[in-house]
Amino acid sequence: MEHLMVRKLRGALAWCSAADDFQIGGKAREGWEKLCVPLLQSGSEKKPCCAIGCPKDAEFEIFYEGAVRPDDSISTDACSEHVGELLTDAPVHHIYLIQ
């Protein structure tokens, strides 16, 4: 239920972005950039868990550092159940909570 409401509000916010006041030079531009843009970006991050066959939303993002190519960090997404399974033999893991 809450998800649907959030989705509706996000849609409304995105729709409002077309208003003149939100364009460059518009009165509401500053508020738009400070408040609305981060909100729109944060909610759009819903990704599925990368464990095979897992239907849950990811709660963590794991970055593997130095795994395959040292100059390249590779990331994957995991739910709380699979976050341990998705660790590899990479020398460094960075795990972030997805907000």
- Residue from 61, 82, 83, 86 binding Zn ion (CB under 5 A): 82
Q: Which residues touch 94 (CB under 8 Å, ≥6 apart)? A: 62, 63, 65, 73
Residue placing its CB nearer to Zn ion in the complex, 32 or 62: 62
We find the least distance from the C-beta atom of residue 76 to Zn ion, in angstroms, to be 11
DSSP string, 27-82: TTHHHIIIIIHHHHHHHTT--B--STT--SBP-EEEEEESSS-TT--EEEEE-TTT
Confirm or reject binding of residue 98 to Zn ion (CB under 5 A).
Answer: no
Residue placing its CB nearer to Zn ion in the complex, 64 or 82: 82
Confirm or reject binding of residue 76 to Zn ion (CB under 5 A).
Answer: no
Binding window for Zn ion (CB under 5 A); candidates: 28-36, 40-48, 56-64, 85-93: 56-64
